Amino acid sequence: MSYGFGSEPRHWPGQAVDLDAIIGRLRSLGRELERQRETEQERFDQQEEERARMARSGELGEDWRRIQSRIDAGQTTIMDVLSGADRSPEARHLREQAERNMRSLRSQWREQQRSGRTDTPLDQMDEIRDSQGR
């Protein structure tokens, strides 16, 4: 009995199993997952570029403009800002704003659940983002 890949299909009593077909299917699924990952990464990168552009121009406020300037200079990262590793006043302000936004989102979500609505604040945010072409 050979266990090499690419050999004849192997069968067990009572079962017709083609390991080569299974392996081929797994490889195909792996390629598809990689394509999806690449597509999502490209989308994320585009959104991040847009956020950075808006931050640089001041469209997101002075705190974001200062943070983006420091990101561009290699002095901090988004992860540092969000995690608390960046202890600058503007990073602290952005974290506080994010916390307020999350509390509001949770409150809206609870209210929608009580009222029987099936969409969520995240659905609504997606609709707004889609309508703005982002």
pLDDT tens column, 22-49: 999 999 999 999 999 999 999 999 999 9
Closest CA to 133 of 46, 31, 59: 46
60 belongs to a structural domain: yes
Task: Confirm if 55 and 67 have CB atoms less than 8 A apart.
Answer: yes
58 lies in some domain: yes
The reply to whether 32 falls in a domain is no
Does residue 74 form part of some domain? yes
Domain membership of residue 90 (yes or no) is yes
Q: How many residues does the structure list for the chain?
A: 134
In a domain, 38, yes or no: no
Domain range enclosing 109 = 50-131
Q: Does residue 1 belong to any structural domain of this protein?
A: no
Kindly indicate the confidence band of residue 1, based on its pLDDT and cuts at 50, 70 and 90.
Answer: very low
Amino acid at 93: H
- Number of domains observed in the structure of the chain: 1
Q: Which residues of 58-70 are buried (b: 16+ CB within 10 A; e: fewer)?
A: eebeebbbbbbeb
pLDDT reported for residue 99 = 93
Task: Using the CB atoms, write b or e for 25-50: b if 16+ within 10 Å.
Answer: eeeeeeeeeeeeeeeeeeeeeeeeee
Task: Tell me the C-alpha distance between 18 and 94, whole Å.
Answer: 56
Is residue 28 one of the residues assigned to a domain? Answer: no
